[in-house]
Amino acid sequence: MTEERRPFVSARTVAERAGVSRSAVSRTFTDGASVSEETRRKVLEAAGELGYHVNHLARGLRERSNIVCLVVADMTTPIRARLIDVLTRKLQAAGKVTMVINTGTDEQSVASAMRQTLNYRADATVFLSGTPSAKLIETSLANGQQVVLINRDDPLTGCHNLGVDNEMAGREAFFLLRRAGCTRLALVTSTAHTASLIERERVFVAVAEAAGLPVAVMAAGPTTYASGYESARRLFGRSDGPDGVFCVTDLLALGFMDAARHEFGLTLPDQLCLVGFDDIEEGAWESYKLTTFAQPFAEMGDHVVDLLAAPVPVIPGRRIFQPVPIWRKSIRASAL
């Protein structure tokens, strides 16, 4: 019956047991500090017996906390999961520790996430979803925090900004479909008006119309499989369904593909060519084989670590990464 919570063992306890001063314990666990081999041995022995662990919270009181906050909504989305995985692993390797804050995308809950971040003295905050207002970022910067936005292209000054080349993707997607001989084009997007989605849509439509091909634009809901499915139902429910479609997200594309096949009996790539974006694992599965653009997650993760682990603060700016086209079978071979 342990009624009382046993406290964490502190440096003082270790010092008493080892018969040295508390400073000696502190120095034993500090690189480059001056301790004799003898006392070091005694301290390490006592620490081992007691199960002592340096308190990083107390350490963080004086200097950097080495905490990085990750603000995310929709963690279950495959791309989000991938990003979180990459970031946590790389940050950890760089000696940082990550706090994950699961939030909605609305202004209100982003603000509360931001407060958490400050409460725990995070050195930096990385936003994977949801865009903080300029005022919130101001507060963070005033507190010496760094802010990193990933795939949120909003022009907020003072924060680091990573994005992919959506213009290239939109343009390339069109050329892929045209080279495959598609004439009735459509674009499927979501009702969540994220900057990067809008950009892909804008460029795709602009390039297509410049080439004399009109584009049917469809948005049936959030960025999910179900929305893609529903979009296909609506588009093929009309008299002349499309024969070339760019879905701004793989998840939308997979839903779209399933509806096209199972509801309307279409075969890919003969009757329908499809291009996605993100390169989620599911797109490579045998049932889909989706042609898409891969986000260079590893590179992006490395860059975030470079930004946050740099000895001197990096000047904030925008860095664009090139998505990599992934050729699979959802587009006719003539496209090559």
Binding site for a second copy (CB under 8 A): 2, 5-9, 51, 53-58, 60-61, 65, 70, 75-76, 78, 80-82, 84-85, 88-89, 92, 97-102, 115-116, 118-121, 139, 142-144, 225, 229, 254-255, 258-259, 261-262, 281-282, 285-288, 313
Report how far residue 279's alpha carbon sits from residue 152's, in angstroms, rounded to the nearest whole number.
18
Report how far residue 78's alpha carbon sits from residue 76's, in angstroms, rounded to the nearest whole number.
6
Q: How far is the CB of 146 from DNA (least distance, A)?
A: 18
Residue number with CB closer to a second copy (50 or 216): 50
Residue number with CB closer to a second copy (100 or 213): 100
Burial class (CB in 10 A: 0-12, 13-18, 19+), 240: exposed
- Cβ atoms < 10 Å from Cβ of 150: 23
Report how far residue 44's alpha carbon sits from residue 12's, in angstroms, rounded to the nearest whole number.
13
Looking at 121-268, which runs of residues are DSSP E strands?
Answer: 124-127, 146-150, 160-164, 185-189, 215-219, 244-247
Q: How far is the CB of 206 from a second copy (least distance, A)?
A: 33
Side-chain-facing half-sphere of 212: CA atoms under 13 Å: 0
Site stretch for DNA (CB under 7 A), options 25-33, 83-91, 157-165, 319-327: 25-33
**What one-character-per-residue DSSP string does 13-48 give?**
HHHHHHTS-HHHHHHHTSTT----HHHHHHHHHHHH
Judge contact between 290 and 328, C-beta under 8 A: yes
Residue number with CB closer to a second copy (262 or 318): 262
Residue number with CB closer to a second copy (9 or 320): 9
Partner interacting with residue 12 (select from DNA, a second copy, none; CB below 5-8 Å by kind): DNA
Partner interacting with residue 39 (select from DNA, a second copy, none; CB below 5-8 Å by kind): DNA
Q: How far is the CB of 35 from DNA (least distance, A)?
A: 4
Partner interacting with residue 286 (select from DNA, a second copy, none; CB below 5-8 Å by kind): a second copy
Among residue numbers 33 through 52, which ones bind DNA (CB under 7 A)? 33-39, 52
Partner interacting with residue 75 (select from a second copy, DNA, none; CB below 5-8 Å by kind): a second copy
Partner interacting with residue 139 (select from DNA, a second copy, none; CB below 5-8 Å by kind): a second copy
Among residue numbers 59 through 98, which ones bind DNA (CB under 7 A)? 59, 61-63
According to CB under 7 A, which one of 22, 179, 184, 202 is a site residue for DNA? 22
Residue number with CB closer to a second copy (89 or 318): 89
Burial class (CB in 10 A: 0-12, 13-18, 19+), 292: buried
In terms of DSSP bridges, do strands 185-189 and 273-275 run parallel, antiparallel, or are they unpaired? unpaired
Token digits of residue 206: 């602009």
Partner interacting with residue 191 (select from DNA, a second copy, none; CB below 5-8 Å by kind): none
In the block, tokens 């590179």 appear at 299
Q: How far is the CB of 211 from a second copy (least distance, A)?
A: 33
Residue number with CB closer to a second copy (170 or 241): 241
Partner interacting with residue 282 (select from a second copy, DNA, none; CB below 5-8 Å by kind): a second copy
Distance of CA 69 to the CA centre of its chain: 12
Report how far residue 189's alpha carbon sits from residue 258's, in angstroms, rounded to the nearest whole number.
16
Which residues does 328 contact at the CB level (< 8 Å), separation at least 6?
Answer: 283, 284, 288, 289, 290, 291, 292
- Cβ atoms < 10 Å from Cβ of 316: 17
Residue number with CB closer to DNA (50 or 206): 50
Partner interacting with residue 175 (select from a second copy, DNA, none; CB below 5-8 Å by kind): none
* 26 near DNA, judged by CB under 7 A: yes
